[in-house]
A and B are shown apart, each in its own frame.
Chain A
């Protein structure tokens, strides 16, 4: 007899197609759940609306990241070319009016800093990387990256109830409904 305690993560239900997932998502959203997600092998167009998700805030991060890059490049070029070590090359002045010659580097660092902000901003927003997740204990979840469409409703959602949630998932067309447990 196993002595490991298990904690319920939630219910996982499979849907037969992207369309079925989309319609089911609308119903789960309308039932008022908060801690749930739809899993699909590719991004489904319009599913954000069906789930009631807001537009990603990533562009704001990237805007400020990019501006930091612009400012960094300007500071670097100005301080080294004008303040610390002024040089007159190709008869270009060693003052602020030489700024057009700084534009290429300012542009490139804007892109570079934005690129890094996209990467790290995204990882922060989707809370990755992580080594494991309770859903990976499921026997069918591996199909979410192949051809499976799933909805998982978490037990920590205030509306979750062991019986009614299962009934809801069955009602909206979910198949292979599975109680996913994680080892405590």
Chain B
């Protein structure tokens, strides 16, 4: 037997060291069939009342805010946004950066945690990826429409036009076009490919009819043969490896929009890592905000366990602390540079008319996640929800501080303005929140919200050598209880 070659069999004196058992990712020893039933049940059963209570208002807000708001904007002109001076230009950009940042947690969970073999990602990656797609859709609305005459938005693409003028490839704004559209496309491919085996699961459970046909179309005829899995796993690995630098590049490129300008408060090299950390920070908060209620409503506590929430809280703590470090480093560099304009920009941020935004950013983003140092806070879902909400709001204020307070004190005093969003501005932002929620509700209704195949894979008996281990348990392994018993025994 293979186990006879290990040294653990040799007699040894003294106390055996305990091998700590890993916390299980699926509680209560649920079977494969239970997992299938529970996750497909979300799609197959009638939606709970809460679903309708969330879906109908958010769909209405989306229709009025995004549909109506954009109709008004396009038919009247971009002036309704108050884009008559450079400060007002800030609002769509604040919201663009806010939404694009939300998406980053999805790619982090699906790509970076996959490459680092963090199996706990399997329970939350599908929903987080869906969030990425929807957040990028919300984000895309702002730059597309704030170009002014939206029917000329195709000028962004490098195609020949009658003016014989080409795009400026040296501009970060064009880099942004490529980065965001690539991000959306690759995230969509990743999300869809990851879903194919699960769509096949739903297809195989449907009665023949239109539903089965539609799920069948999107499942592409997946059979789950190992000759398919073998290529599929390689494809998944490749997409993860491609998405990892992609996600880091997207928010870096977004930060270049600011960092490559020569504006005090923007022209800093810390921007790319600071923006990426902030994006992951804000994205994880949004994952928690959405998944904690969904977990209760659909009874997914055995799949999205307290361990998952604990891990996400720790990532929020880590990235929140990085963000806090970046805020302080910005201040230090402004002071240490000796550049009076840089110093003045930060003095204006802290003590100027927008001090409340700066204070909100600091307290919500830097102080609130520090509660996650305490296990009691990470285990209390009300506290977790409250902190996640703080971070959601705080990250919006971060973008507001960076963009609006800087634009309000540009080089020329003639540019100095105090910002106030127009009603249409506010309407569109609230509309995108509705759109995001409505799309997420539709996702819960029609698509498997947890990765069925991958969750099954994290079960212990998914290992093809599980049966061998059961008959020949690792002789070195001792549970804590046995260890304590042994300690007591050795004393007496």
Query: Does A associate with B in a complex?
Result: yes
A105 at the interface (CB under 8 A from B): yes
- A132-148 at interface with B (beta carbon < 8 Å): 132-133, 135, 142-147
Bound complex: CA A114 to CA B412 (Å): 45
Bound complex: CA A146 to CA B205 (Å): 9
Interface residues in B, total, Cβ within 8 A: 71
22 pairs, A vs B, C-beta closer than 8 Å: A18-B462, A21-B464, A39-B225, A40-B229, A41-B201, A41-B453, A41-B456, A43-B230, A58-B231, A62-B238, A76-B158, A77-B169, A98-B170, A104-B249, A104-B253, A107-B245, A111-B182, A116-B189, A122-B231, A145-B203, A145-B204, A146-B33
Query: Which of B164, B217, B231, B465 has the most CB atoms of chain A within a 10 A radius of its CB?
Result: B231
Known: A37-B226, A58-B231. A108 touches B179 (CB 8 A): yes
Bound complex: CA A114 to CA B427 (Å): 38
B287 at the interface (CB under 8 A from A): no
With a cutoff of 8 Å between Cβ atoms, the chain B residues found around residue A114 in the complex are: 238, 242
Bound complex: CA A21 to CA B462 (Å): 11
User: Are B226 and A44 in touch, CB under 8 angstroms?
Assistant: yes
B7 vs chain A, min Cβ distance (A): 25
Which of the residues B165, B182, B203, B239 comes within 8 Å of A118, measured between beta carbons? B239
Known: A58-B238, A119-B189, A128-B220. A51 touches B226 (CB 8 A): yes
A6 at the interface (CB under 8 A from B): no
User: Are B230 and A19 in touch, CB under 8 angstroms?
Assistant: no
User: Are A38 and B186 in touch, CB under 8 angstroms?
Assistant: no
Which of the residues B189, B221, B243, B246 comes within 8 Å of A131, measured between beta carbons? B221
A115 at the interface (CB under 8 A from B): yes
User: Are B453 and A135 in touch, CB under 8 angstroms?
Assistant: no
A100 vs chain B, min Cβ distance (A): 9
Q: Which residue of B lies closest to A144 (CB)?
A: B224
User: Are B226 and A128 in touch, CB under 8 angstroms?
Assistant: no
Write the A78-103 contact mask toward B (1 if CB under 8 angstroms, else 0): 00110011010110100000100110
B363 at the interface (CB under 8 A from A): no
With a cutoff of 8 Å between Cβ atoms, the chain A residues found around residue B234 in the complex are: 55-56, 58-59
B193 at the interface (CB under 8 A from A): yes
A126 at the interface (CB under 8 A from B): yes
User: Are B226 and A118 in touch, CB under 8 angstroms?
Assistant: no
A168 at the interface (CB under 8 A from B): no
8 closest Cβ pairs, A-B complex: A22-B464, A147-B32, A129-B220, A19-B467, A56-B234, A80-B166, A37-B225, A101-B170
User: Are A17 and B461 in touch, CB under 8 angstroms?
Assistant: yes
User: Are A53 and B226 in touch, CB under 8 angstroms?
Assistant: yes
User: Are B169 and A41 in touch, CB under 8 angstroms?
Assistant: no
A67 vs chain B, min Cβ distance (A): 13
Q: Which residue of B lies closest to A94 (CB)?
A: B170
With a cutoff of 8 Å between Cβ atoms, the chain A residues found around residue B205 in the complex are: 142, 146
User: Are A126 and B467 in touch, CB under 8 angstroms?
Assistant: no
